[in-house]
Chain A
Amino acid sequence: MNLDPRIPSGPVAQKWDNFKQHMKLVNPSNRRKFHIIVVGSGLAGASAAATLAEQGYNISCFCYQDSPRRAHSIAAQGGINAAKNYQNDGDSIYRLFYDTVKGGDFRSREANVYRLAQESVNIIDQCVATGVPFAREYGGLLANRSFGGAQVSRTFYARGQTGQQLLLGAYSSLIRQIAAGKVTMYPRREMQELVLVDGKAKGVVMRNMFTGQIESYSGDAVLLCTGGYGNVFYLSTNAQGCSVSAAFKCYRKGAGFANPCFTQIHPTCIPQHGDQQSKLTLMSESLRNDGRVWVPKKASDCTKDPSEIAEEDRDYYLERKYPSFGNLAPRDISSRAAKEACDDGRGVGPMVSGSRRGVYLDFATAIARDGKAVVEDKYGNLFEMYERITGEDAYKRPMRIYPASHYTMGGLWVDYHLQSTIPGLFVLGEANFSDHGANRLGASALMQGLSDGYFVIPNTLPDYLAREGANRPSTNREEFVEAENSAKENIANLFAVKGTLSPRHFHMELGKVMWEYCGMARNADGLKKALGIIPQIREDFWKNVRVTGDANMLNPELERACRVADFLDFAEVMCYDALERNESCGAHFREEYQDAEGEAKRDDAHFSHAAVWEWQGRGKKPLRHQEEITHEEVAPVVRSYK
C-alpha cells in the first residue's frame, strides 16, 4: 500500500503556497470536459461541488436525504474556529495550528493542520459573503467566543445553530450551481459500490431509494464526503442515516482506512432514558463555561433529589482533578472522568441496563452569581431543548449529562492532496482522517469540512485531472455491470435470509459490544472479547435477519439492513486498531497505559504513526500499514490540563 503523504517541501508555513505555485492547472475551456462525482452534500460535499462547478467542471452530487440541505453538518451547534484574531487576544495561524496539533495528541500531520489553520480565515470571509448571519456586536463587527477550553476567543457562531447556517450557506452556493446547470443533484440515493477502471476511481453505483433502481454513474474522479461512522455504537449524536457504508465500500475496494479506533465521545449529551432510546442529543459544550459538573460523594446519595445533597457531599470531580482547566477540561478527559464516576457507582438518573449513567451539570452557582436572566440569555435555547427532551427544568434542578459518540477522527487515509490510496478517489471532511489526530477540538469539524471543500480540493483536484486527462468511461463497461450485479446480489442476499429479527435488533447488539469494549476506555482483554463476539453477531445477522417489503420500493428496513451489514464488517477493524495501538492517546484510552494518577500515557517511540488498514475479506484480519507522523514544528509534550 502506497502511503506517500506527498507533503510539499519547505517550511510548514510555506508548504501550501509552494504547492499552489507548482500544481498543474486545467485550462478554463477544458474544465467542462471533466465530470466529477461528489457523494454527500454536507459542508464538505456542498462546498466542494459548488466551488468546482463555479470553476467550470460538471458535477453530479448525491445525498440520501430528500434535499442536500439536510445533511448532518446541520446539527453542529457551537461554532467554527478561525485564526482571525479579531479579539486581539494573541491568536494567530500558528497558534491555531499548535492548539490543533496538541489537541490531537500529536497524531495528526503537521502540514495538513497548518493548511487548515491558514484557510480558516478565508472560510469566515467566504461564509459572510454567502450570507451566513454570524453573531455580531452592537458596533456591527463579528462576535467571538472562547470554546472547548481554548485560551483565545476564536470561535464564530450563529446562536446555537452554527452548523445549520454554514450548511445553508454552502447549500445556497450549491443550489445556485444546480440552477445554472453545472451540478446535477441526485437526492434519495445511497451509494452501493465504488467503481474502479484500470485501478482508478471512475464511478459509483447508487440505489435510488424511491424506486429501488440500481444506477451507475461515471466520472473522471470521485469525491467522498460522507461523514463519520459514529453510529457503529448504535446510540450516538449522529443522524439516523449516518453510516460507514460509503467509506466501507471504498475500503473494500482497496482504500486504506486510517486510525478507525480514534472516535470522539462528547461529554455533554443528554443521558439515555431507557431501552427505547434511538439517539442521543448533544448539548453544546459552551454549557461547561458556566455549569459545574458533579456527582454525589456517596453512592447512597445517587437516588436522592439533588437539592437534598449537601455541598460537602458533592464531588466536583473536574475541578478537583484539573484545577487549572476545571469544568473546561478537553472532551476526552471530561468524558472519561464522567465514566469513572459512574463506574464507581456514583452516577445519577434513571437505571438503564443495570447502571445509572449520568452526572450533574449544575448552574446554581452561575445563577446565584449572574442572575437567571444572564444565564437564560446565554443558554436559553439549550435549557428549552433539555426541558423538551427530559421534562425537567434545569434552572431549578441540575441538568444530567453523559458522554456519547459524536465524531470520528479516523477515516479513509488521504495524502496532502486529499487523495486516498485509490487514485482518483478523494475524501473530504469527517470521512477522511487527516487533520484531527487522536482527538478533535471543539469548533474544528466545521472548519475542516469547509476548508476541504471550499479551498483544498479546488486546488488539489485539478492537479490530478490535468495529469489524468478527461477520460470518463461509459457506464456500459463491464466494471460497472459487475458493480451493479454485486450491489443487487447484496440486496438479494439480505431478503433471502428470511429470518425473524429486525435489522435494528442487530444494530443494537453490535452497539452494546462496541460501547462496552471499544468505547471511552479500552483494554486488550475486552477488545479480544469483542473480536470474538462481533463475528457471532454477524453470523447471526446473516442467518436471522428479516427484511420486510421488497427491493423495488421505498424501503427503510432494507436501507437499515444494508448499513448494519457494513457496520458488522467494519466493527472488527475498529477493534483491531484499538487492540494494536498499545498506548493511550487522545480519545483512545487504553487502561493498561496510564500513569499512577490515571492520566493517559502516550508512546511516541512506537506509535507516532497513523495505522492504515487494508481489507482482506470478510472475517479475515486486515493488514496493518503505517504512515510515520513526524513533528518538525511542534515538539510533542505531555498534554496536561491540571
Chain B
Amino acid sequence: MKVNLKVWRQKDSDQKGHFENYTIDNVSPDSSFLEMFDILNEKLVSEGKEAIAFDHDCREGICGMCSMTINGIPHGPERKTTVCQLHMRKFKDGDTIVVEPWRAGAFPVKKDLVVSRDAFEEIQKAGGFISVRTGGARDANATLISKEVADKAMDAAQCIGCGACVAACPNAAAMLFTSAKVSHLNYLPQGAPEKDRRVIAMVEKMNELGFGNCTNYGECQAACPKGITLDNIAKMNREYIAAKARQIVGA
C-alpha cells in the first residue's frame, strides 16, 4: 500500500507546531498503524532526519500509552480499538491520513505526538484507591460479591487511562475517565467506606485541573477503546450530589 500522511510536528511545549507531509510505499495491509509509523521513522532516519516522537509501549491495546488522533478521531476509525491494534487493512491504497496528538488544554503537547497526561495521575491521587495496608486483609471469600456487581466493577475497571475520552470531547472533559475510576471502586463493598470522600475528592480535583464540563455529547463513549459507557458518568453525578448533600447536612 501507499499512504500519504499529514503528521503534526512540534519541537516542544513552548514552540508552535505544524503539519508535515510524508508519503510511504510498500506498507503491508497486515501491518499495524504503529508499524507503519516505524517504517516512516526508519525512512526519516535513513535520510538523516529526526524521527517522529509518539507514545506506545505494549502494542497490544492494554497499556494505554498510544495516543494519536487519526483523521480527527482519537485512536482512529475502528471502534473499540487502540492505535496499536488498528491495522492498515482498514485504510485504502493512496489514502491521505491526518495524524495529530490528543488535543486538550489539560494535556499539553510535549513533542510531536506525545502529550502529558499527568492530570490523570492527579485525579487518581485524589481518591482512586482503597485505603488498605498490605497484610491483615481478611480472607478473600469472607466478603461475598455477587457476579453482577463484580461484573459491573470490572466493566469500569477496564479503563486503560489513555485519554481518548478527553481528546474526543468537544469540552475536553475527563468525566468518562474519572467516573470509570469512581465506579470501579464504588461498586465494590471494599470501596464503600470511602465512597463519599472518593467521589467528592476526585470530581473536585478534576474540575481544578482545567478539564471541561460534560454536556452529554457522548463522544467519549464512542472513542473509548475499552467500551466504558456513559452510565458511569450518570452514576458519578448521582453519587457526587448525594455525597455533597450528606456532607452538608452532616449525615
| Interchain CA distance A77-B45 in the complex, whole Å | 35
B188 and A239 form a contact (CB under 8 A):
no
Chain B residues within 8 Å of A458, by CB: 134
Contacting residue for A72 out of B31, B53, B63, B158, CB 8 A? B63
Asked if A136 and B63 sit within 8 Å, CB to CB, the answer is no
Q: How far is the CA of A99 from the CA of B9 in the complex (A)?
A: 53
A70-B65, A140-B147, A141-B141 are known; give 20 further A-B pairs, CB within 8 A: A51-B134, A54-B134, A67-B161, A70-B63, A75-B62, A125-B138, A126-B135, A126-B137, A127-B140, A128-B143, A131-B153, A141-B144, A168-B157, A179-B125, A237-B60, A239-B63, A281-B59, A502-B45, A504-B38, A548-B50
Contact of B49 among A164, A173, A210, A548 (CB under 8 A): A548
> How would residues 127 to 147 of chain B score, 1 for a CB under 8 Å from any chain A CB and 0 otherwise?
011111111011111011111
- Give the contacts of A497-546 with B (CB-CB under 8 A): 500, 502, 504-505, 546
**Which residue of A122, A173, A546 contacts B48 across the interface (Cβ within 8 Å)?**
A546
Give the chain A neighbours of B153 by CB distance below 8 A: 131, 133
Q: Which residues in A have their C-beta under 8 angstroms from that of B128? A: 172, 175
The total number of A-B Cβ pairs within 8 Å is 217
Contacts of A175 in B (CB 8 A): 121, 124-125, 128-129
Interface assignment of A619: CB less than 8 Å from any CB of chain B: no
Q: Which residues of A contact B53 (CB under 8 A)?
A: 554-556
Chain A minimum-CB-distance residue to B12: A553
Hey, which chain A residues are within 8 Å of B34, CB to CB? 278
CB distance from B5 to the nearest CB of A (A): 16
Q: How far is the CA of A70 from the CA of B62 in the complex (A)?
A: 8
| Chain B nearest Cβ from A576, distance in angstroms | 31
Asked whether, in the complex, the Cβ of A65 is within 8 Å of the Cβ of B57, the reply is yes
Assembled-state Cα–Cα distance A165/B158 (Å): 8
Name 21 A/B residue pairs within 8 A (Cβ), A-sorted: A50-B134, A65-B65, A70-B63, A75-B60, A129-B130, A133-B153, A141-B141, A142-B140, A142-B141, A175-B129, A179-B125, A240-B56, A273-B30, A279-B59, A281-B59, A282-B60, A390-B30, A500-B46, A504-B38, A554-B53, A555-B53
Q: How far is the CA of A281 from the CA of B48 in the complex (A)?
A: 32
Tell me whether B111 is interfacial, beta carbon within 8 Å: yes
Q: Within residues 202 to 222 of chain B, which ones have a CB less than 8 A from any CB in chain A?
A: none
Determine which of B111, B121, B151 lies in contact with A554 in the assembled complex, contact meaning CB atoms within 8 Å: B111
B44 interface residue per 8 A CB criterion: yes
Which listed residue (A136, A138, A274) contacts B30, Cβ 8 A? A274
B196 within 8 A of partner (CB): no
Residues of A within 8 A of B157 (CB): 133, 158, 165, 168
A352 to chain B, nearest CB (A): 11
List A residues at the B interface (Cβ < 8 Å).
47, 50-51, 54, 65-67, 69-70, 72, 74-75, 84, 86, 122, 124-131, 133-142, 158-159, 161, 163-165, 168, 172-173, 175-176, 178-179, 185, 210, 237, 239-241, 273-274, 276-279, 281-282, 350, 385, 388-391, 454-455, 458, 500, 502, 504-505, 546, 548-549, 553-557
- Residues of B within 8 Å of A385, CB to CB, are 61, 85
Which of B45, B121, B140, B158 sits near A125, CB closer than 8 Å? B140
Q: Which of B112-120, B167-175, B229-237, B239-247 contacts A (4 or more CB under 8 A)?
A: B112-120
Contact between A502 and B147, CB atoms less than 8 A apart: no
Is B101 on the interface with A (CB-CB < 8 A)?
no
Bound together, the chains give a CA A170 to CA B147 distance in angstroms of 23
Asked if B68 is at the interface (CB within 8 A of a chain A CB), the reply is no
Residues of B within 8 A of A86 (CB): 141
Closest-CB distance, A600 to chain B (whole angstroms)? 31
A388 and chain B: residue at smallest CB distance = B85
Given contacts A70-B65, A86-B141, contact A131 B110 (CB under 8 A): no
B129: chain A residues at CB < 8 Å are 130-131, 172-173, 175-176
Contact B58 A75 (CB under 8 A): yes
Q: Are B134 and A126 in contact (CB under 8 A)?
A: yes
B28 and A274 contacting across the interface, CB-CB below 8 Å: yes
B6 within 8 A of A: no
Q: Are B134 and A131 in contact (CB under 8 A)?
A: no
- Residue total for B at the interface (Cβ-Cβ under 8 A): 81
6 cross-chain pairs, A with B, having the tightest CB-CB distances, nearest first = A140-B144, A129-B137, A172-B129, A273-B30, A125-B137, A136-B150
Question: A128-B190, A140-B147, A279-B59 are contacts. A172–B130 as well, Cβ < 8 Å?
Answer: yes
- B55 CB within 8 Å of chain A: yes
Query: A136 touches which one: B46, B125, B147 (CB < 8 A)?
Result: B147
Q: A161-B158, A165-B157 are in contact. Are A133 and B184 (CB under 8 A)?
A: yes
Contacts A140-B145, A158-B154, A173-B134; is A131 near B39 (CB within 8 Å)?
no
For the complex, give the distance between the alpha carbons of A126 and B137 in Å: 6
Tell me if A502 and B46 are in contact (CB < 8 A).
yes
Q: How far is the CB of A432 from chain B (nearest CB, A)?
A: 20
Contacts of B63 in A (CB 8 A): 65, 70, 72, 74-75, 239
B93 at the interface (CB under 8 A from A): no
| B51, B121, B139: the one within 8 Å of A67 (CB) | B121
Cα distance A377–B1 when bound, in Å?
Answer: 36
Q: Do the beta carbons of A276 and B39 come within 8 Å of each other?
A: yes
Q: In the bound complex, what is the Cα–Cα distance between A413 and B200 (angstroms)?
A: 47
Considering only residues 24-75 of chain B, those with a C-beta below 8 Å from chain A are: 27-28, 30-32, 34-36, 38-39, 41-42, 44-46, 48-51, 53-65
Asked whether any CB of chain A lies closer than 8 Å to the CB of B81, the reply is: yes
CB atoms of A274 and B31 under 8 A apart: yes
Given A276-B38, A391-B89, A458-B134, A133-B150 contact (CB < 8 Å): yes
Report the minimal beta-carbon distance from B138 to chain A, rounded to whole angstroms: 7
Q: Which residue of A lies closest to B187 (CB)?
A: A133
A130 touches B130 (CB 8 A): yes
| Residue in B34, B46, B57, B140 with the greatest tally of chain A CB atoms within 10 Å | B140
Residues in A neighbouring B151, C-beta threshold 8 A: 136
